[in-house]
Structure 1
Amino acid sequence: MMLDMTDARRQDEVELVQAAQAGVVAAVSLLLERHWAGMRAVALSILGPGPDVDDVMQEAALVALRRITDVRDPQAVGPWLRMIVRNRCRGLLREARRLEPVADVPLPGTGGDLSAVLERQALGDWVWEAIEALSPALRLPLVLRHFTDGVMAYESIARVCGVPVGTVRSRLSQARAKLVAALDATAADAHSDSRSRTAAGWEAARATLAAAESGEFGKILRQDWSPEVALLSADVPVGGAALLVRAMDGDLEAGVRQRPVNVVAGRSVAVWEMDLINPADDPDHCPPSVAWIMGLEDGRVARLRLFHPRPLPASAIPPDLQDVWPQ
């Protein structure tokens, strides 16, 4: 018996989802094109006409790219895409009221996480190649917004970049528009291996911390980082390798340890998100976490920004560094 048009379309959609989950990048574009009108209708119903609708649609497209492997029922991909839009709209409204954001789409109950989903797919290589084509001013906010866990809020990105929140929103809008265009233009191209870069990033983070605890942080900086590495406060250099070594040694002497919890690894920007573990006798010495946000040149760290969700207390900064340490 021949399938009717409804059954044929449903079967075609199942095959598109399966292809997308296997890493066929063009399949994701086709799915988004097919459901774009319905997704946009959801955004308009919640936000009303205006530029926020375009921003939400661009963000939803990126979320779909990153999380397509979360779809368990390929026949339900349409409702899944509309749910992404709905949650992005609600998140935007929450942020406007300065409340804490929540996750866009629940992760699978099998212990998967976004970075693992991204790493094991050809989609990840495709997305990262397009990200690298952006200008540095657009690339950094996009990476922080979509790939980190602790630096994704607009206010946090503004602190890292040293610009107003309105500028962050503008840059993100420009970055997403350019990224979507670049993804469309490069769907059939070969892409670099983001999975290998991420694995190397985890190894480097752990090796760097182990070296620091052995008193060899300076050696790691000389070997693996740029000789002209600069610590930045926003975009302003405040010191180099010597300052970083003094600060790391000061933390270790105070009994503070770091544990990597998330690694973002591109060719030109990398982020190590760390838990900070304070000594038992001084549990409030440092905030609970820090992000190392690194600009890379020829694979070596040339610029470092340190982002704490809360400013460091004065007691956590060695006296000789308090006038220069970024906050």
Structure 2
Amino acid sequence: MVSLTPPTDEELTRRAQAGDSAALGLLLARHQAPMRAVALSLLGYGPDAEDAVQDAALTALRRIGDVRDPEAVGAWLRAIVRNAARMRLRATQETPGLDGLDFAHPCADDSAHPEKLIEQHAMRDWIWDAMAELPQQQRLVLMLRNFSGITSYQEIAGACEVPVGTVRSRLNQARAKLAKVLLSTAAQAHDDASALAEDSRHEALVTLDGATRGVLPPEIAELWPEQAELVGILSRPGERSHPHDAMRQNREKGVRQHLRHVVASRDISIWEMDVVNPAGIPRPCPPTLAWVMFRQNRRVQRLRVVFPQQ
């Protein structure tokens, strides 16, 4: 006989800690009202209070494993909301679009690498599937801000060629929509996000090798059709340029790029590179850059090369 007794907070917390995303969704839905009450008490009625609750939900997604007393998970969730609200009260402090995912910036230590940390988290596929539901512009700023080395609002604005205010607006919209999608899709099956990233990493390595040798393998050349366009700082004003032109120029100058990090969704790929310039080269390339690619059916439609601030 199936029990009609609702699961306790302790049961839901332990299931969520074991990787059951549906249990976490139920837990957040159960405590949504008291979480909102805490936000309202600190921020008053308005969008900031709702954003603080959404921030807290995303923080809980990452940190559910930190809960040591599953019976008291309600108090833990309210404390996270309180912290999120206090961060919003610091009006002069720049905060990331996804509170609690600020750790997701690459560094030399592999244990702190965003891709490694997400892979270690049982909910990673849930996050990436939810991000796939976002409009492309919102997903791009989210990927840059939280999963790449292009993290400041100024850098993201440059990468997207929009004002800083637009970046802030898109991040806020993306965060709000992502929190709602996470809750609505908690019980669904999710694609393997790590497989998508690994496929993109392999493609990047083969592409770099082919660009260095001047011959792209057919399976890679197929992904760079004639209509692919280089846009942004490296493109020629008033002229349409194919990315192959920039690859050829780098090869002729002796500039070499080495893949450092990959962030990938189904229609956006970000390849972060370390750059090695030959000795004595005039106008050397900056030491790091990123390829931001927009795709359709895997084929690259646009490539923007971004130079993060040093």
Same fold? TM cut 0.5: yes
Change beyond 3 A, Cα 1:307–1:60 = farther
Counterpart position of 2:143: 143
1:97-246 to structure 2, matched below 5 A, reads 104=102, 111-119=111-119, 121=121, 123-148=123-148, 150-217=149-216, 222-233=221-232, 239-241=240-242, 244-246=243-245
In the alignment, the residues of structure 2 paired with residue 158 and residue 173 of structure 1 have an alpha-carbon distance, to the nearest angstrom, of 14
TM-score (structure 1 length as normaliser): 0.71
User: Partner amino acid for 2:141?
Assistant: P
**Cα deviation, residue 233, structure 1:** 2.4
**SS of residue in 2 equivalent to 1:225:** coil
Show the counterpart of 2:274.
275
| Separation in structure 2 between the aligned mates of residue 232 and residue 194 of structure 1, nearest angstrom | 28
Q: 1:279 to 1:110 in 2, by over 3 A?
A: closer
Tell me if the contact between 1:229 and 1:302 (Cα under 8 Å) persists in the aligned partners. yes
Asked if the contact 1:259–1:274 (Cα under 8 Å) also holds between the matched residues in 2, the reply is: yes
TM-score norm. by structure 2 comes to 0.74
Distance 1:106 1:172 in 2: 15
**Rounded Cα–Cα distance in structure 2 between residues aligned with 1:116 and 1:237:** 42
The amino acid of 2:265's aligned partner reads: G
Q: Which moved more, 1:117-126 or 1:271-280?
A: 117-126
**Which whole-Å deviations, capped at 9, do the CAs of 1:90-127 have from their partners, x for residues lacking one?**
8873328xxxxx984599x9925331232355522222
Give ranges in structure 1 of 5+ residues lacking alignment: 1-7, 97-101, 312-327
Q: Distance in 1 between matches of 2:257 and 2:64?
A: 31
Q: Which runs of 5+ in 2 are unaligned?
A: 1-6
Superposed CA deviations along residues 241-269 of structure 1, whole A, max 9, x for unmatched, are: 3xx22322322333332222221111111
Q: Distance in 2 between matches of 1:205 and 1:110?
A: 19
Number of the residue aligned with 1:4: none
Residue of structure 2 equivalent to 1:71: 66
Q: Is the contact made by 2:104 and 2:114 (CA closer than 8 Å) also made in structure 1?
A: no
Equivalent residue for 1:28?
24
* Cα offsets for 1:183-241 (capped at 9, x unmatched): 2222222222212111111111111111122222596752223331122229x996343
Contact 2:255 2:277 in 1 (8 A): yes
Match of 2:3 in 1: none
Give the match's secondary structure for 2:225: strand
Contact 2:39 2:53 in 1 (8 A): no
Q: Is the 8 A contact 1:131 1:139 kept in 2?
A: yes
Residue identity opposite 1:197 in structure 2: L
